[in-house]
Structure formats: C-alpha cells, structure tokens
Chain A
Amino acid sequence: MTDSILVRHSPLGFVLAASPRTIVGLSVFLLIVFTAIASPWLAPHDPLEQDLLNSFLPPFWVSGADPAFLLGTDNLGRDVLSRLIYGTRVALTVALVAATLTGILGTTVGLLAGFYGGWVDTLVSRMVDIWMAFPAVLLSIVLVAVIGAGLHAVIIAIIVIDWTRFCRVVRAETMVQCQQDYVASAVTIGLSRRRRLFKEILPNILPLLISLLTLEMGIAVVVEAILSYVGLSVASDAATWGGLIQEGRLYINQAPWLMVFPITCIVVAVLGFNALGDGLRSTLDPVLRR
C-alpha cells in the first residue's frame, strides 16, 4: 500500500502509470516545444533566404535532390525544412495562448451558468445557441478582417468563436457536480458559494478541462492554418504551416511535397495534442487512476 502511494505521486510513477497514448502525445508535444524554442539552431537555413538557382528541389529520397536541402525547396528556393521548423513557433504560440484564454473565458462563463442556474443560465445558453448558429470559419475571417491581420487577431478570433466549446461542456458538468452529495456536505460545513464553486467543484472538472484544453490546442492550430491559408494571419512571407500549404497549392503538380509536409505537420500536431489530452485525463483523475 505504502509503495503504491509512493509510486503514484512521483514523476517516475507518473510515467509508469501513463498509457502508451499519453506517452505518444507527450512526446509529440515536447518535440514541438523543443523545435519551437530551438528553431534557430535546428534549422539548416534561414527560412526567408532565397536561392533562385535552387528552386523546386525535391526531398532527399528523390533523385536530383541536394543534401543541403533535406526536404527540398519551394518556388523561391527557400528551404522547406527550415520553414517548417520556424512554423512550429507560430503554431505553438497560437495553440498555447489561444487555447488557454479560450479555456479561461469559456470555463468562467460555464461555471457561473451551471452553478447559479436561473436567468444567468438562460442568458448564457441562448448566447451559446446564437454563437453556434454562425458558420465558424466565415465568422473568424470576418473578425480578422475587422481587427486587422496578424497573430493577435487570429488569437482573438479563436477566443471569440470557441469559448462556447468550453462553456457548454463546463456548464453541463457543473450542473452534474452540483447534484453530488459532497457539494451538499460543503454547504453544511458552512462554505460560501464562491468557495464551493472554485474550491470544491472546479477541481472536480479539472480533468475534463485538461482534455478540452488540448483538444482546443489542436483546433487552434487548424484555425491558424486556415487563416494563414487565406492570408489573414502573420505577414505573408513569414513561415507558417498554413502559409506553406497556400504557397504550395500553386505548384501542386510540379512539387507536391510543398503541400504534403506542412499538412503532415498539422495532422501529427493535432493528433498528438488530442492523444495527450485523452491520456492525461485518465491519468490525472484520482477516481479512474489505479
């Protein structure tokens, strides 16, 4: 018994208890973080450096490739690998900042709606209904067009659109938790409403929030790619995964790898975030945890 407690609460124990899914997700996440931080050292070339003599070089396994450009070059002779590596910075920034802020807004509103019920709940629920009736991509494009292109606009657009995702789930879960006996017990020991909401109920929906947060990180990466694709994200010469797809689209027949690589990056990142969220949820939940 004592041994199992020790194992469970140490970092080593965490890794031992984690499912393969968590480990895969965590590896992808750490790889992205590392790549983003270490971009200048990892990238073999400057992502903006043009080399017009070496345009449309294929990736290394195709004949005619230049080993100096592992994943080939684009129409202006820029190194695809370096651009992908620098692209992780944008993707990670958007994923972390947008998902966190979206989570904070949606969770707060959802907690209040679920806990207080009544007109607060009615108001919030109707707002969520209206929000969800808007086509999300269109709304985000309109928003960014109004705010002005740039990374901050992308982040604001994601928050404004996606807070409902957190709000709905948190509201429903808060309602479920409010019915639990431990909340009633908290009343009888004289805890205030605010204390009950933030100190008793919120910790119980934390595992759920973690999986929502990582899901949202995946969504944020996709939304950033969409907005880059339509040219509404960061300046068009900067390296982003969405921007790479958009540039590559023009040369899909000559150089399909220009699209394949950034799409692969997005898919792997999103799958990784989701796997991490799912895994963490079951690992962190003290009831599910064995």
Chain B
Amino acid sequence: MTALLNIHNLHLEIQQGTTSLPILRGVSLSLQPGEVLGLVGESSAGKTMIGKATLGILPSQGVITDGEILFDGADITHISVKARRRLLGTDMAMIPQDPMTSLNPVFRIGSQIADVLRLHLGLKSKEADQRVLELLDNVHINRPERVVKLYPHELSGGMRQRILIAIAFACRPRLIIADEPTTALDVTIQRQVLRLIKELQVASGTAILFVTHDLGVVAKICNRVGVIHAGRILELSSARDLFEAPTHPYTQALMAATPRYDRPNSALNPVPEALVSALWDDVRSYDRGERSVDTGNA
C-alpha cells in the first residue's frame, strides 16, 4: 500500500533579511491512508510547521530549503497556489488550534458550513442546508436547526470546535491536519472532542496528522507517534511501543515528566538539564555540519 503522505528529509528555515533560523532539520515521516500519526514535542520544536508545510500555509518568511512532501505519490512541496487550492478543503483539511477565533465572526454557523459544501461539492442551497444539519448531527450538536442560525460568539469553545471539526470533515478529505485541536479547551471538553475526532476518523477512514504537546492525548487517539525536538524526529514508533518501551532518552524523560494523578504527591520530574544540553549540542553540530558542506561547495 502506498503512503498517503510522505515527507522526506524536510528542511525548513525562517528567513528574515540576512539571518535565517533553522526550524526543521531533515524531518522524514510517512502516513498510511486511515492512519493517525501523532507528533509530540515541546513548544517551538517545529511540529506545527510540519503541518503548515504540508498544507502549504507557511508564513511568508518560512522557506523549505530541502526535502520534499509527497501527497498520494505527487510532489506538492512547491506546487502553484491554484493547484494547492484544489487540494485544500477537498483532499486535505485542517482542524485549527483556537476555536474561539477560527470562525468568521459575522456569518451564521449554517452559512459558514454550507459555503464549503457549495464551493467544493457544488451542492445547491437546499441540499447544502440539508447536509449541514446532517454534519452537525454527526458532531453531536443538539438541535442543529437552531444552531445553524447562531453566530460564533453565541457558542461555547467546545461547540465551536465541533463546528470546525464538522467543516474539516465536510468534504470527506483523505488527510486532516489537527493542530493542537484540544489545547484551548478545558479538560472535560477535551475528552469529548478527542472521542469525537476518533469516532469520525474511524467512520470516514480519514488519515490524521495530529500535532500536540500532550502525551495523554496521543495515547488516546494515535496509531503511531513521532517525538520531535528542535526540528528533528527523535523517535517514531507505534503508540503502544512508545508508551511501554520508549527507546530514546528524551522520550523516557518526557514520560517521567508527565504529572500523574495516581501519584499525586510525587515530585515533578523535569527533563534533566544534562540531557537537554546534550540534545542541543547534537543539534548545533548538525547545523555546523550543514553549513560547512555549504561553504565547501561555494
């Protein structure tokens, strides 16, 4: 079976004027159809950038300097805006991080979902309206015929995230990038939303690239997990292996650092400083190696 998404040796830099800051340092991963791959790592590890590079929505300073991204066998690393637009919404979609600000504040919920259906599936207004109700029902929203008439600010964060999930799944995409979809929600809602994403994923067979910094989330939803640090994947294995027998010392340290409610009085274990500085030494020598190759060519 060919991989749905194949990222090979991806290098990405933030370039501003003459300075450039490496964000991704040779990331490689692949995602099978219908698979959920988790990406965990601390802030600024570059996990969000992998998702953005895949969708082609990098900030203007973000430049892919090496490597390639294959979607369904086709190279989409540098395709045109137009070709990209044909993929987005139909083949690929995104569940954003912050549900509070990701819906257009001046349009009613119903019309925002119906727009996507009309645009991509060419549905007539009536059919679209009907389909919107079904989609809202799929994400377990009560009385959808009432909710379609509301504006985003009239809904809670959990409700809005359900709406955004409904939009992401609306055109049955083959790949969804979920960028920390539960971070902005409180814990009880997180659980419901995760269960909902998993349920829709199983029903539709959509593959999900799940970006998060929460190991607990990963355990609930992912088939495989990649651990990222400073733009490199340190360990990529099945979720079960990762939790039962983490091989990389950084993964082990992350596991030990997670507070556990079954041991409430034990001290917190931060990732050891020696390990962090060893990792960064490694990163720096990697960067130096790259740069010396460059000057050798010049």
Binding site for B on A (CB under 8 A): 1-2, 5, 180-182, 184-193, 200, 203-204, 206, 286-287
The total of Cβ contacts below 8 Å across the A-B interface reads 71
Binding site for A on B (CB under 8 A): 55, 57, 81, 85-90, 92-94, 96-98, 101-107, 116, 119-120, 146, 149-151, 153, 164, 167, 177
Find out whether the CB atom of A181 lies under 8 angstroms from the CB atom of B96. yes
Contact A184 B96, CB 8 Å, known A2-B146, A190-B85, A190-B86:
yes
Residue on B with the closest CB to A204? B106
Find out whether the CB atom of A190 lies under 8 angstroms from the CB atom of B89. yes
Find out whether the CB atom of A188 lies under 8 angstroms from the CB atom of B89. yes
- Give bound CA distance, A182 to B106, whole Å: 11
- Give bound CA distance, A188 to B88, whole Å: 6
Known: A180-B101, A182-B103, A192-B85. 19 other contacts (CB 8 A): A1-B146, A182-B101, A184-B57, A185-B102, A186-B104, A188-B93, A188-B177, A189-B88, A189-B93, A189-B116, A189-B120, A190-B87, A190-B89, A190-B90, A190-B119, A200-B104, A204-B106, A286-B106, A286-B153
How many Å from the CB of A112 to the closest CB on chain B?
17
Residues of B within 8 A of A188 (CB): 55, 57, 88-89, 92-94, 96, 177
Find out whether the CB atom of B119 lies under 8 angstroms from the CB atom of A191. yes
How many Å from the CB of A122 to the closest CB on chain B?
15
- Give bound CA distance, A5 to B154, whole Å: 11
Give 10 nearest A-B pairs by CB, closest first.
A190-B89, A190-B88, A188-B94, A189-B89, A181-B101, A181-B102, A182-B104, A185-B102, A203-B106, A286-B151
- Give bound CA distance, A186 to B105, whole Å: 13
Find out whether the CB atom of A5 lies under 8 angstroms from the CB atom of B104. no
List 9 A-B pairs, Cβ < 8 Å.
A181-B98, A185-B167, A188-B93, A189-B89, A189-B116, A191-B89, A193-B81, A204-B104, A286-B106
